[in-house]
Amino acid sequence: MRDLAYKALQAKEKLTKENQKEPTIEQIAKELNVEKEEIVVSLDAIQDPLSLQEPIYNEGSESIYIMDQIKDSKNTDELWAENITIAEAMKKLNNREKTIISKRFFDGRTQMEVAEEIGISQAQVSRLEKSAIERIKKLYK
């Protein structure tokens, strides 16, 4: 991977001298007779990692760090609060209901799959799921 990256850098330098402008990834890939995705991956592989604590702007005592510029849509405050609420609600269910809700909504299984796994009918899974959801709704209204 690194060998390809260094060859790509050499090809880039050569093409820049020949054409008097920086070549595209496609041009470098064509020069080396490889796929452009391979060039991109290889060049990424030789990049030094950055710390999220690295300051990108500093004015006196106030700094802005890389971490401050990255959006985390997975771990928002709202999601965190929802996860706590769901965890608390799950504690109120019996073991069978917990298993059904977990397999259905966290593992993405169908009612038929859950029924087969725990050895009950799909209709029973449906009833238990519905009653567990109703209980959770009553607790958090």
Task: Give me the mean pLDDT over the 62-75 stretch.
Answer: 71
Residue 35 DSSP symbol: -
Report in angstroms the alpha-carbon separations of 55 from 48, 49, 50, 58, 68: 16, 14, 10, 7, 9
Alpha carbon distance 62, 64 (integer Å): 7
Residue 66 pLDDT greater than 80, yes or no:
no
- How large a percentage of the chain has pLDDT more than 70? 94
Quick check: pTM over 0.75?
no
Residue 22 pLDDT greater than 70, yes or no:
yes
φ, ψ for residue 2 (rounded to 5)?
-65, -40
List beta partners, residue 98.
none
Task: Give me the mean pLDDT over the 22-36 stretch.
Answer: 94
Task: Give me the mean pLDDT over the 109-124 stretch.
Answer: 93
Residue 23 DSSP symbol: P
Other CB atoms within a 10 A radius of the CB of residue 70 amount to 8
